[in-house]
Structures are given as structure tokens and as C-alpha cells.
């Protein structure tokens, strides 16, 4: 990623994990509208609560849109850590801080409703632990680029002839929370929200052909290789990117 900001503040990278769980895919930061937390929660269409066992403790995890400066900063720092998780250089902490600051600013800048339909270009969902106790902690995040039918703009990554398609990206799970199915919960919540709230009929994402962890996550959620896009033909053989697609019909069958 270009850490100097500006129009080049975007880059695709593959975030490989240790095999336990998904830091999957990164692109330009996407965000949630600026609403009060109370109002934001009142319009959430998908709210997933589950208990998990972590070190013999029961925790409650909710997946919902990001809300407030504290959560935005937590998402930015989570992504900074994921981006530099394999960097052992002496300057890595400074790089993470700069990345986090730029990411947070970008989220704040894009956290707004836009004309003519009053929808954001993207949403950011977070997996929250301990919200009911008042000590919320961000365990993971995921972004949705909304379909053209919701924003009038074609989302990057979606084929030009698909006005009802959304794009899912930036799946990141905190290191200590990996291996517990949280990445899949984030994916499911994002897919359901894209369909129910924003009217998406198809969902797209890219995966590196050699990223088996990410590929297994996506296929377990109903994604399949989208062969109609010739740009990605032969990607498996060449070690390049593969465009995947899932349909709203798949969610309805579950």
C-alpha cells in the first residue's frame, strides 16, 4: 500500500495466516455511514450473536456495522497489524502506526452517506466481544462494497454488466481469536447484510490461487470460481488471482 496517501492509497495484497484462520484479502479501505451508535444499531438488518469457548471462558460475539471513533481506530489498528504481521524490520512499529492513522482517516472520510441515494459506497462490519457488558472489543472486521443499484456507482471488483453485485473484502481476524470460526461468521453476516439490506443478488471476491486458507473459507460460504471473467482464466496454474462468485440463492437454500 502507498503510505503517502492520495489517490494511490490502494493496493491488493494477500494476507496469509498460519493456517488457523483468515486474514484474507486487502484493498482500499471501505467504511460505514456516519450515524449515531443508537441510530446505527436501529437500522442493522443482520445481527449475529453466538457464544464461543476461549480458554474455558464463554464470550458473546456480535457482528454489526462499525460504530464510533473508538471502533474505527480499533479496525484500523487490526488491519495495520495484519498488514505487517510478517515484517521483522526495526521500523515496523512506526509503519504500523502510520498505516493505522491513514486507515482511520480514510474510514472517517468515507463514513458518510452520499447522493443521490443516500447510501455509502462501502460498509465495514465488525465482530464485537463483550458489547452487552459495556466493554466492547473488536475481534475482526470485513468490508462490503455496495452494489450499483444501491449507490449508482459500479463497485470495483464486480463485473461491469452486474448492477446487483457487491464485493466483499478485507476479512481480518485478531490473532488470538483465529481458529474459532470467526472469519466464517463475518463472511456470513456480510453476505446476509448485502442481500437483505442492500439488495445484492451476487457477491464477488478475489483470492490468491495459492492461498488455501482463504480459498477454503470462501468456498465454505458458497463461493465458486467465476469463469466468465477471462482476465482470471488460468489463475490457478499461474499463481495469480481468482475471481469468485456466490449468489443470493445460495443463502436462501441454507
Grid coordinates given for 138 = 473488536
Q: What is the pLDDT of residue 59?
A: 55
Residues of the chain with pLDDT under 70: 1-59, 111, 132-134, 227-239, 252-254
pLDDT tens column, 14-54: 333 333 333 333 444 443 333 344 433 333 333 333 444 44
Domain boundaries along the sequence of the chain: 6-198
Does the predicted TM-score (pTM) go above 0.85? no
Please state, in angstroms and rounded to a whole number, the distance separating the CA atoms of residues 220 and 14: 19
CATH of 6-198, one of 3.40.50.150, 3.30.930.10, 3.40.630.30, 3.30.70.20: 3.40.630.30
pLDDT tens column, 169-185: 989 999 999 988 999 99
Element (H, E) at 38: helix 37-42
Q: Answer yes or no: are the C-beta atoms of 189 and 195 closer than 8 Å.
A: no
- For 103, the 3-state DSSP assignment is helix
Give the burial string for 122-152 (b: 16+ CB within 10 Å, else e).
bbbbbbbbebeeeebbbbbbbbbbbbbbbbe
Amino acid at each position: 500500500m502507498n503510505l503517502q496517501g492520495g489517490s494511490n492509497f490502494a493496493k491488493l495484497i494477500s494476507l496469509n495466516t498460519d493456517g488457523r484462520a483468515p486474514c484474507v484479502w486487502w484493498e482500499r479501505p471501505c467504511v460505514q455511514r456516519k450515524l449515531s451508535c443508537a441510530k446505527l444499531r436501529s437500522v442493522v438488518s443482520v445481527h449475529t450473536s453466538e457464544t464461543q469457548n476461549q480458554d474455558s471462558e464463554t464470550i458473546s460475539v456480535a457482528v454489526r456495522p462499525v460504530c464510533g471513533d473508538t471502533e474505527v481506530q480499533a479496525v484500523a489498528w487490526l488491519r495495520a497489524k495484519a498488514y505487517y504481521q510478517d515484517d521483522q524490520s526495526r521500523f515496523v512499529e512506526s509503519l504500523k502506526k502510520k498505516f493505522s492513522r491513514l486507515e482511520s482517516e480514510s474510514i472517517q472520510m468515507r463514513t458518510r452517506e452520499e447522493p443521490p441515494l443516500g447510501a455509502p459506497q462501502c460498509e465495514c462490519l465488525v465482530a464485537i466481544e463483550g458489547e452487552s457488558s459495556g466493554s466492547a472489543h473488536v475481534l475482526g472486521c470485513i468490508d462490503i462494497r455496495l452494489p450499483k443499484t444501491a449507490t449508482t456507482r459500479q463497485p470495483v471488483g464486480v463485473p461491469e454488466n452486474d448492477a446487483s453485485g457487491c464485493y466483499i473484502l478485507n476479512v481480518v481476524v485478531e490473532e488470538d481469536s483465529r481458529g474459532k470460526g470467526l472469519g466464517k461468521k463475518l463472511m456470513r453476516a456480510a453476505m446476509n447484510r448485502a442481500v437483505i439490506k442492500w439488495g445484492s443478488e451476487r457477491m464477488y471476491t478475489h483470492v490468491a490461487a495459492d492461498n488455501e486458507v482463504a480459498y477454503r473459507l470462501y468456498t465454505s460460504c458458497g463461493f465458486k470460481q467465476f469463469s466468465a471473467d477471462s482476465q482470471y482464466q488460468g489463475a490457478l496454474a499461474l499463481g495469480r488471482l481468482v475471481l469468485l462468485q456466490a449468489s443470493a440463492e445460495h443463502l436462501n437454500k441454507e
